[in-house]
A and B are shown apart, each in its own frame.
Chain A
Amino acid sequence: MTQQFGDAVNAKVIMMIGANSAVANPIGFKHFLQAKDRAGTKLIVVDPIYTRSAAKADLYLRIRSGTDIAFVYGMLHIIFKNGWEDKEFIDTRSYAMDQIRAEAAKWTPELTSDVTGIPVDQIIQATTLFAKNTPSAIAWSLGITQHSVGSSNTRILPVLQIALGNMGKKGGGLYIIRGHDNVQGATDMGNLADSLSGYYGLEDGAWKYFAQSWGVDYEWLKGRFFEKKWMNEKGYSLSQWWQGVLQEVKTYSSAPVRAVWIQGTGITSMSQQAKIKEALDKLDLVVIAEPFVNEAAVLTSRKDGIYILPVATQFECEGTVTATNRSSQWRSKVVEPLYESKTDEEVMFLFAKKFGFYDQFVQGMKMGVKDGKVVQVKNDFKWPDDAVREIARTIKSIGLSGWTPERLRAHQENWHMFDPVTLEGKGPMKGQYYGLPWPCWDDKHPGSPILYRRDVPVAEGGMGFRNRFGLEHNGVSQLADKSVTVKGSKIEGGYPQLTKENIEKVLGITLTEEEKAQMGGSWAMDFSGLIQQKAREAGVCVYGNARARTIVWEFPDPVPLHREPIHSPRWDLVAKYPTYEDQPKNFRVETKFKSEQQKQDWSKDFPTMLVSMRVVNLSGAGMLERTSKYLSAITPEMFCNIHPDLALKHGIRDRDMMWIHAPQGTKIKVKAYHNHSVTPDRICMPYNFAGIFQGIDLSANYPEGTKPYAIGESSNTITNYGFDVITQISEFNAGLCRVEKA
């Protein structure tokens, strides 16, 4: 997120859309409640369900899932019509807002209301409240990202904030709330199939850069791939890896997938459970490395070739974790790994040793920088300090250079010296923000709690927008206007990102020969640190000072457009706002969009909308929490919230069992809870159960003594087929189903 939670108290209005922080991030939500109490902040909640967060809202809007883009355009329509936009901000710091205006002009309140299901007066009320009381902030999480248009959802909301001039200031910005601690860290380290760590991508330049930092021969790395081309290809995603096994559609790889190693991810929280089961059954080898029995082991009926390795929990290992606000926290080991469990890294080291690449695997932790070159500086490594050092040395793209083990340990040991709301340090920690929220450009930098602030010097956490997409587009300069000067900067107005080639010109300096020899090609690939050093002297941010683009010309929809979910209850709107064309190769898998959506009018046989929800006591696949007796006692069984009117229409009484059928032919049997948080056109259930599959109890599959206190159907058995066009995340939060009394 661009802010940090304590900044909520500076917002006049906070709009939560596709987020249920009261349940998903209670402590984070505290900041919103404190803002309400201490600063009179108004809370707007936009959600298909009346959640616990909605219960605390000043204004609640019940939206049809998958229509968020339409809703935001409805807001933009009203904003532009009334002239409430921040014209100066748009003109000086953004690009292509006119194209957004053109699209917004179509979205009258009436049309928006028809598509989203929100009454006209509520749309107007919410927009007026949000736009006329700035700075206002937006918070979202998986309700926005988990859609077939997720990558457009996540663009239209920043566009709204840019239109209102809410970016780069206290009280504004975007609270993109990550779930678990260290989901942000996992993303930063590239636990994704389409990039190396730190968002460097998979081009040759990135591979060579990493090879240098790892102290490993680039050719040797290349040799690890079956063919060179796979080195630059995205891998299979977590959503459809099973297609690599089953190959029911066209897939692209050197061979079918034959083994899967699952470490630290709940497979039963992914969609298409029936397919995952088939894939697990078909594989040659399944290895599961977890602290608890990952229910992938229970879902499969295989009797052989499946191994469960006990891995240590967070209390039994040491390292850093990155919070949703980009701060890093050092975490100490409290107890040695119990019984036979091993820490994650130990498991990986043993694996590497077994398969003969251990030396290369750990080489990076023995390296250091000398005269701008990465060389070996020690013969052995200390975990995790040297791993943290390696990260700091390598990941310049998001400014992790300042995250040295010494600084992070010091922060952990001196919590009491930091203000819990502003994160500012006091005493010996003065001048630093807790956890050094990235970007933390060098080891003197305090961290950047709020992004894009040009009223703060770069050395204190300020910056403009990143210059990432070239210097001009269609003849228009992509650099910020002359008037947009970052405080204390030597350069007036916008400037490009710094490279060895342009640094002298941009900063107006001269480099010595020695500096030229040591300097790296660009700010993100400069081991010498000289580019950052020169930038610091000039009060300049290494990544440039550019305009924020409101369109993404590389995407199928440069301007974010509303498209109906793959399985939509409104056949009439499917014709007007169809989904994307089928994607022949999306993360190596042929992925259907239009052909699935328009195969038939799904709403005829599957008239009820399917929404997923969180419960506060279970997270992710739920296998950890369901082994705790107290947490299980809160939700001892899988359930589905259903409005009494809908339930009784099918003869389903409160606490009766019911079947829920999905378009792909799967079904689950769950207990019906009559509940008024849903309306009769939709049902809503948690996704954190496993252990029962399509009505069949899988208890016998649990190794002795490992069965959790609570088991149940996984809602992902019926999550509809559907994936985002760019990220391939499953469309968990929109879909259709049919209920039936069991």
Chain B
Amino acid sequence: MSNEMSRMKFFCDDHRCIECFACSVACAEAHELPTGISRRKVITLFDGIEGKEVSTSIACMHCTDAPCEQVCPVDCFYIREDGIVLHDKEKCIGCGYCLYACPFGAPQFPRDGAFGAKGAMDKCTMCAGGPLETNSEKERHLYGQNRIAEGKVPMCAAVCSTNALLVGDAESVSTIYRKRVAGRGKGA
């Protein structure tokens, strides 16, 4: 039923990303995150180098073969049928293994554990909340908004000023990107 192309995916088109931080700030605002935690981060490489500078937006990529889910010792991750990778903060022990496994550095650890050590892991949920009751106060408090359940687009892609950040099922996202790439080819 859940085939590869109908899984939810993010894609950041770095030809469009201008490092405006809208995605990062909107996410932090929507989920009321503490300032140290950036579920979504915007980065510029080769800043100021003519012809090389590129900006992009990074968060959890909700991998099909999510390494975080593979290494978790308490098995707190669950991958939804639509491909969104979520985890249970109440099960999570804050060990950090998911961070070591993640190629994108998505898992983050607020310093609210014992002795100021890291607490439970926090990461982008693609605005799909968590295992608690949908749109309950507790879910919102722990995981942030559950926009997917309300049929809304994840916050970051919704506010992206240049439509660099695309989200949706892999088929639709690749169609949009393919059109752009084809358009860029002509008139060269």
A–B direct touch, CB within 8 Å, in complex? yes
Residues of B within 8 A of A54 (CB): 50
Decide if B16 touches A33 in the complex (CB within 8 Å): yes
In angstroms, Cα B178 to Cα A195, docked, is: 52
* 0 or 1 for each of B43-69: is its CB under 8 Å from A? (1 = yes): 010011110011100000000000000
Residues of B within 8 A of A629 (CB): 35
Within 152-188 of B, Cβ neighbours of A (below 8 Å) are at: 161-163, 180, 183-184, 186-188
Judge if B99 is at the interface, Cβ distance under 8 Å: no
Q: Which of B4-12, B22-30, B75-83 contacts A (4 or more CB under 8 A)?
A: B22-30
Within 48-70 of A, Cβ neighbours of B (below 8 Å) are at: 50, 52-56, 60
Decide if A617 touches B184 in the complex (CB within 8 Å): no
Across chains A and B, which 3 residue pairs bring their CB atoms closest together, nearest first?
A: A40-B187, A677-B48, A676-B48
Residues of B within 8 A of A641 (CB): 48
Interface size of B in residues (CB-CB distance below 8 Å): 29
In angstroms, Cα B188 to Cα A36, docked, is: 10
In angstroms, Cα B48 to Cα A675, docked, is: 7
Q: Which of A33, A36, A41, A675 has the most CB of B within 10 A?
A: A33
Decide if A617 touches B21 in the complex (CB within 8 Å): yes
Given A26-B162, A29-B162: A50 and B48 interface contact (C-beta under 8 Å)? yes
Decide if B186 touches A40 in the complex (CB within 8 Å): yes
Task: Sample 9 A-B pairs with CB under 8 A, ordered by A number.
Answer: A26-B161, A29-B161, A40-B184, A52-B53, A54-B50, A55-B54, A630-B28, A634-B25, A676-B49
* 0 or 1 for each of A451-485: is its CB under 8 Å from B? (1 = yes): 00000000000000000000000000000000000
Q: Distance in Å from the Cβ of B33 to the closest Cβ of chain A?
A: 8
Given A33-B162, A40-B187: A617 and B25 interface contact (C-beta under 8 Å)? yes
Q: Which residues on B are within 8 Å of A, measured CB to CB?
A: 15-16, 18-22, 24-25, 28-29, 35, 44, 47-50, 53-55, 161-163, 180, 183-184, 186-188
Decide if A37 touches B53 in the complex (CB within 8 Å): no
Decide if B19 touches A630 in the complex (CB within 8 Å): no
Decide if A52 touches B18 in the complex (CB within 8 Å): yes
**Closest Cβ neighbor of A20 among chain B residues:** B18
Residues of B within 8 A of A38 (CB): 183
In angstroms, Cα B24 to Cα A631, docked, is: 10
**Closest Cβ neighbor of B186 among chain A residues:** A40
Decide if A26 touches B20 in the complex (CB within 8 Å): yes
Residues of B within 8 A of A677 (CB): 47-48
Decide if B186 touches A676 in the complex (CB within 8 Å): no
Contact with A630, one of B16, B25, B47, B188 (Cβ below 8 angstroms): B25
Judge if A249 is at the interface, Cβ distance under 8 Å: no
Q: Distance in Å from the Cβ of A304 to the closest Cβ of chain B?
A: 37
Residues of B within 8 A of A616 (CB): 18-21
Q: Which residues on A are within 8 Å of B, measured CB to CB?
A: 22-23, 26-27, 29-30, 33-34, 36-42, 50, 52-56, 60, 616-617, 629-631, 633-634, 641, 675-678
Residues of B within 8 A of A39 (CB): 183, 187
Given A55-B55, A630-B35: A36 and B184 interface contact (C-beta under 8 Å)? yes
Residues of B within 8 A of A56 (CB): 15, 18
4 further A-B contacts with Cβ under 8 Å, apart from A22-B18, A39-B187, A52-B18, are A26-B18, A33-B162, A37-B15, A42-B187
Decide if B22 touches A26 in the complex (CB within 8 Å): yes
Given A40-B186, A617-B25: A29 and B18 interface contact (C-beta under 8 Å)? yes
Q: Distance in Å from the Cβ of B53 to the closest Cβ of chain A?
A: 4
In angstroms, Cα B160 to Cα A29, docked, is: 12
Residues of B within 8 A of A36 (CB): 184
Q: Distance in Å from the Cβ of B45 to the closest Cβ of chain A?
A: 11
Residues of B within 8 A of A37 (CB): 15-16, 180, 183-184
Decide if B18 touches A675 in the complex (CB within 8 Å): no
Q: Distance in Å from the Cβ of B105 to the closest Cβ of chain A?
A: 18
Residues of B within 8 A of A676 (CB): 47-49
Decide if A55 touches B162 in the complex (CB within 8 Å): no
**Closest Cβ neighbor of B188 among chain A residues:** A40
Q: Distance in Å from the Cβ of B28 to the closest Cβ of chain A?
A: 5
In angstroms, Cα B4 to Cα A430, docked, is: 43
**Closest Cβ neighbor of B54 among chain A residues:** A55
Decide if A633 touches B50 in the complex (CB within 8 Å): no
**Closest Cβ neighbor of A675 among chain B residues:** B48
Q: Distance in Å from the Cβ of A587 to the closest Cβ of chain B?
A: 36
Residues of A within 8 A of B186 (CB): 40
Q: Distance in Å from the Cβ of A614 to the closest Cβ of chain B?
A: 11
Decide if B53 touches A50 in the complex (CB within 8 Å): yes
In angstroms, Cα B49 to Cα A675, docked, is: 9
Decide if A678 touches B48 in the complex (CB within 8 Å): yes
Residues of B within 8 A of A633 (CB): 35
In angstroms, Cα B180 to Cα A60, docked, is: 22
Residues of B within 8 A of A55 (CB): 18, 53-55
In angstroms, Cα B80 to Cα A637, docked, is: 41
Residues of A within 8 A of B55 (CB): 52, 55
In angstroms, Cα B35 to Cα A631, docked, is: 10
**Closest Cβ neighbor of A641 among chain B residues:** B48
Decide if A630 touches B183 in the complex (CB within 8 Å): no
In angstroms, Cα B47 to Cα A29, docked, is: 19
In angstroms, Cα B20 to Cα A630, docked, is: 13
In angstroms, Cα B16 to Cα A567, docked, is: 37
Given A22-B18, A40-B183, A630-B35: A30 and B162 interface contact (C-beta under 8 Å)? yes
In angstroms, Cα B161 to Cα A597, docked, is: 42
Contact with B161, one of A30, A630, A675 (Cβ below 8 angstroms): A30
In angstroms, Cα B20 to Cα A589, docked, is: 40
Decide if A30 touches B187 in the complex (CB within 8 Å): no
Decide if B19 touches A52 in the complex (CB within 8 Å): yes
Given A23-B18, A38-B183, A55-B54: A630 and B29 interface contact (C-beta under 8 Å)? yes
Q: Distance in Å from the Cβ of A449 to the closest Cβ of chain B?
A: 22
Q: Distance in Å from the Cβ of B174 to the closest Cβ of chain A?
A: 15
Residues of A within 8 A of B18 (CB): 22-23, 26, 29, 52-53, 55-56, 616
